[in-house]
Every structure is written in C-alpha cells, then in structure tokens.
Chains A and B, each alone.
Chain A
Amino acid sequence: MSRMPAPDLRRLHAVTDNFFFWQGLRWIPMGFALMVSSIAMMPGVPLSKDVRPWIGVPFMIVALWLSTSVLGRYYARHFGRVRMDLSRHKTRTTVKWFVVYPAMLAAIIVDGVWRPPVLLSALAFAGAVEAYRESTGGGRLHYAVAAIGFVAFSLLPLLGVLPNGMAAVGAVIGLTGAVYVVGGFLDHRELVRILGSNDASDVSTV
C-alpha cells in the first residue's frame, strides 16, 4: 500500500482498521475482573487456597457478557458498525498467539516457580502492552506510560519492596487490570474525540 499523505487520514485509517480495539469501555469490566482476581491472590486475604484461583471466574464471565453484549450494543448504536478485514492482520494474530501469549505464560511460570529477583512477567507484560499499542493503530501514549510502569514494577522484588513469587505475579495481574480500566477509559475518550461527540442516527438516507 502507498503511504498516505496526511496524518489525519492515517488516523482515520488506523481507527477504522482497529475499531474494535479502540472501543475502550469494552475493556473496563475485564480490568475490574482481573483486579478482583489479583486481590484474591494476595497473601493476607482470608480465603482458602482452593477457592482463591476461582474467585475471579464469575467476575470474568460477567465482564465478558458486559463487554460483548451490553457495551457491544452501545458502540454499535452510537458509533456504528465496522466489519474488520481480518486478512490485514495475519501477522498481528500470528505474533499474538505464537510469541506474545506464550512469552507471558512462560514468564508467569518462571516467576512463580524459580522466583528470579526481577519480575519477568512484568517485563513480558510491558512488551505486550507496547506491542498492543503499536499493532492497533499506534498513538495512545498512555500505553507507553503503562509499559514503562510495568518495567519499573519488575524491579520491585530486586529493591526489596515486593516479595517475588506468585504473590508478585498476582500484583502484576492487578496492575494489568488497572491498565485495562484506565487505558479503556482513555481509548474511549480518544475515540469520542476522533468520531465526534455528536449523536447521529443510524437510519441512512442513501
């Protein structure tokens, strides 16, 4: 494809190309669910070990329902519908499933089992957040800030601020939830800015 001349056109192209990902409110419920899961994993929480891993599950089910059904309808009604061209994102999908997710999982296992002084999961999540930002249209500097936050977080066990191991992984998941919530809110604000805040009707006159 040729380069586009104007930054505004590039932005229109990027938003349309990644419309689903820019619907920020969709990510907020999942962020809260991740934060609940994280809190449940904290050592001081009075829950039995058998229950802890499952506390977040009902929250995630509700979050998924809110995200796909309620908020999906909200975006369709107020911002319209875009059918993604999946063939444009083969590389992103491949890298996501065969590089990013396995790296995140491997880092969590390493942190949980071998307890290295630097949180590898936080570093992996930092890379994932930055890859997400880049591959879904760029811009949105809040994700770059979040990635830097994850890198800083990875050093906390080394500095003696946070114990390493699964408790630290739980904290990383909580931080991920917070990134979902704040990032989602800011993405939505950006989408409203680009698509205008005026309400339009979805009945066309063509």
Chain B
Amino acid sequence: MKRLEVCGLHCGYGDKPLLRDVSFSLAPGEALSIVGANGTGKSTLLATLSGALHPLSGEIWLGGERLERVPARVRAQRMTLLLQQQPLDPGIRVRELVALGRTPWWRGLRGMSPADWEQVDAAIEMCDLVALADRPVGAISGGERQRARLAMVVAQNTGLILLDEPTNHLDVAHRFMLHRVVENLRTARQTTVISVLHALEDARRYAPRMLYLHGGTATCYEQSDYERLREHIVAAADVPPEWVY
C-alpha cells in the first residue's frame, strides 16, 4: 500500500489555486524533493499535505485513508512536518522539546513511558544534541534549535516526514548529519520523506525524485534527468548556469 497518494490536487489560498493538478504517490521508504523559485507554492504544498490548509480540489490519501477523515491524533502518529520557522517557548529545555514529539503516542494521563524516553534519548543522540539536552531552547543558536526540532520530529516516529527547508541555519557538518539522519530513517524505519529544498544539489542528494514547481504546475524529474531540470531552472531564473547548483 502506498503511504501517500496525491491525486489532481489544486492548492492555494482563498479560491485562487497557486498549484494546479499535482499528482504523485510515495511508498514506504521513498523520498521526494520539492524544488522551485520563491513564491511557486512549495510551502503551500507542504501545508496542504500536512492538513493545515484545505485543498481547493483533488484528494490526498494517507495510509489508505482520505487525509481529512484521519483524526488529528492518528494523523500525528502517521505524519509530521518540520516547519521552516516555529515559535517556541524559549524556556523549554531541549530534552523536553524533543519529548513533545511523543505527544501523539501518550495514553490517557499516564504520560511518558520508559520506552518513550528511550526514543527521546535516541533522537537526541542521533541529532548530536547530548551536550545541549538540558539547555533552554532560548539559549542555543538557530542551527542548534533546528537540530532540536529535527530530533523532535525523529522522536515522533511517523511513517511520513515533511521537511520545509531543513538545511536552514545548518553548517556543513550538520547538513551532513541531517542527510545521514534522513537516510537512516528511510532505510531503518522505512520512513517516507518529502523535503522542500532550495539547493538543487541537496535535492538530488536527498531523493531519487524531484518535483519541480513552476508557473502553477508540478513536474516530476528522476535523478537521471538532473541536467535537464537544471537547464529548466537556469532558463526560468535567467541566471548564468554556474549559479544553479
């Protein structure tokens, strides 16, 4: 069974579609990168896929069920989104933040089980945050905060992860770490990953398929079509080829 199926999706704000007729499907362990210029609807598409924005038309199927029919808690057990920007309580500590990723798995008022804490600590270690686990998120850098939010997404342990510009604020070492974490989730947990990325090289590295958004439409490119996609972007942006990488 496909983990995510998108059929004839029109999405946007108000009644004017920003993107028309988007269709694709992803199986467990598959990955897709979404690329496109500013304002082409990358974040709008992710917001629609996450359920924050209602589709103007078309269907989204999550784990064999229509997305709008999946209850909020079950949806959060199957899918999560790493937002580009997120207002966080500055006083919350990194470990407490990561533990919030286990919220959809709580049962009644019993709170976190030892198994939940094990997942939290594993996510903290995976995202290189052991030394920062007791620090308030208001007292760490933007990149460290991004890693803490990634660790929360990892601890949530969903079958589908949506990442909106996940490499923002990250230095080269932690961009490599992020790539390693995503690959690990895909292979070990069969997690399906959709990432919105600005850098074309990153997009190719993160997924064998790339969804290029341009002029209100979405076109799928395989890794073998990389050069052809690059030429499209160069032509659309009207910049020298060496600026597109």
Is the pairing of A and B real?
A: no
Using CB atoms and an 8 Å cutoff, list the residues of chain A in contact with chain B.
none
Using CB atoms and an 8 Å cutoff, list the residues of chain B in contact with chain A.
none
